[in-house]
Amino acid sequence: MIDRRNHHIFQPLLYQVATAVLAPSEVAAPIRQLEAKQENVSVILGEVVGVDLGFRSVDVDCPGVGIKKVGFDCLVIAAGMQSSYFGHDEFPKYAPCLKTITDAETIRSKVLSAYEVAESIDDEDERRRQMTFVLVGAGPTGVELAASLAQMATTTLRGNFRRIDPSTTTIFLLDGAKRILPSFAESLSKKAAERLAKLGVQVITGAMVESIDARGVTVGGKLIPCGAVLWTACVSPSPLVKMLGVATDRAGRACVGPFLSVPDIPNVFVVGDTATLTQNGKPLPGVAQVAIQQGRYVGRLISRELSGRKPLGPFRYFDKGNMAVVGKNFAIMESGRIRLAGVTAWFAWAFIHLLFLPQLQNRLRVQRQWLWSYFTGQRSSRLVTEAARFDK
């Protein structure tokens, strides 16, 4: 197993690290610890920088070692997605994304630093700008992050400052689509938008971002001054797909066959967000459910081949439904014909996310912190790292 990080991240809760609800260690676990009981698994910390399908090997850039060539009989690419800024290379400097622990800590520091600056300055316009946040992208991550920010401003930070009132924070959630959460039923999307409005989040749909700089975001020729821009919009596949040199779809994902293998290249598989596969006439969505099921399928497929057992049939995805949380006591859930919105969906969301955390200690820590935050409104991870402090 090769990874450029030494830890596994439970990404569905990463937004809670960004908004100080959870600490990084509560949503992550060391890969070596997760694989400790798997004696036939070796873990390499490094980044794959080249793939040679002819010689059946990958080039890995290992810290302190350099390039190391690792041969393979079977290759499984499961590198996921990375944030995409629509070709605007200048955006990341001003609008951090949310894909890694470092991203989450950067966002947390950026948001909390904005309040610290607002507390110190005298100019009312600049103070208002510092206490304005713009999120670009109204998918599940954007909606969850916006709701959590709103509740942090009105509850957690209440009474913590002497010269500013955090409850007057302005939060904009922008998206180029006609509605938020387009992957959900329109009725649920509408209820989520209503809930965001109650929390004080201003949703603007049909908004195409033209530029982002230190002043704020320009949309439709109009500048929205803000203290922090957070990018929760488009994603693109890992660069590993290009290294394979195989056919891709318009989004750059590898086109795989019914057994999740690359056509005409034996024992090379691509799973999760880096792959595209059509089922019932529609491409499978880029969600965690698909990645988990595909990973398990390919693992069983290889195991059966090595042991000489009967091979598996083509991969079939079973849709268990979608969920998104919109602040305290409110979530939306869609599974087949079942559509729920409110506190029942929120409890289901909490239970399922606790269940899928990587380790028992993660579950216990997150459960304890959630209970503390639920009853007190406080968040225990409000740290501004020195490297990111006041970095605008």
Write out pLDDT tens, residues 340-364: 999 999 999 999 999 999 999 999 9
Q: Is residue 259 part of a domain?
A: no
Helices (H), 308-381: 343-355, 360-376
Q: Is residue 202 part of a domain?
A: yes
Q: What is the pLDDT of residue 359?
A: 93
List Cβ neighbours of 29 (8 Å cut-off, separation of 6 or more).
Answer: 7, 8, 358, 359, 362
Mean model confidence pLDDT for the chain: 93
* 175 SS3 class: strand
Q: What is the pLDDT of residue 200?
A: 97
**Domain count across the chain:** 1
Q: Has residue 54 got a pLDDT over 50?
A: yes
Q: How many CB atoms within 10 Å of residue 291?
A: 19
* 329 SS3 class: coil
Mean pLDDT computed over 309-313: 91
Predicted structure pTM score: 0.92
Going by C-alpha positions, the residue among 326, 343, 323, 11 that lies closest to residue 143 is 326
**Amino acid symbol at 242:** K
**Percent of the chain with pLDDT strictly greater than 70:** 98
What is d(CA 303, CA 44) in angstroms, rounded to the nearest whole number? 21
Q: Of these residues, 144, 194, 305, 386, which one is catalytic?
A: 144
**Amino acid symbol at 63:** P
Q: Has residue 387 got a pLDDT over 70?
A: no
Q: Is residue 32 part of a domain?
A: no
Q: Is residue 307 part of a domain?
A: no
Q: What is the pLDDT of residue 390?
A: 46
What is d(CA 275, CA 266) in angstroms, rounded to the nearest whole number? 16
**Percent of the chain with pLDDT strictly greater than 90:** 84
Q: What is the pLDDT of residue 381?
A: 86
Token pair belonging to 310:
């009967």
Mean pLDDT computed over 220-240: 92
The DSSP result for 30-88, as a single string, is EHHHHTTT-TT---EESEEEEEETTTTEEEEEETTTEEEEEE-SSEEE---EEE--TT-
Q: What is the pLDDT of residue 392?
A: 45
In the residue annotation, 144 being an active-site residue is answered as yes
Domain with residue 152: its CATH number is 3.50.50.100
Q: Do 81 and 274 contact (CB within 8 A), yes or no? A: yes
What is d(CA 16, CA 153) in angstroms, rounded to the nearest whole number? 14
| Choice among 48-52, 199-203, 267-271, 380-384 with the minimum mean pLDDT | 380-384
What is d(CA 88, CA 261) in angstroms, rounded to the nearest whole number? 33
3-state SS of the chain: helix, strand, coil percent to 5?
A: 35, 25, 40
Q: Is residue 131 part of a domain?
A: yes
Cα 360-363-368 angle, rounded to 5 deg: 130
| Range of the structural domain that residue 104 is part of | 91-233+322-376
Q: What is the pLDDT of residue 216?
A: 96
pLDDT tens by residue, 254-303: 999 999 999 989 999 999 999 999 998 888 988 889 999 999 999 999 99
Q: Is residue 270 part of a domain?
A: no
Q: Distance of CA 308 to CAs 69, 102, 258, 377, Å?
A: 29, 44, 20, 56
* 210 SS3 class: strand
Q: Has residue 234 got a pLDDT over 90?
A: no
Q: Is residue 346 part of a domain?
A: yes
- Kindly report the length of the chain: 392
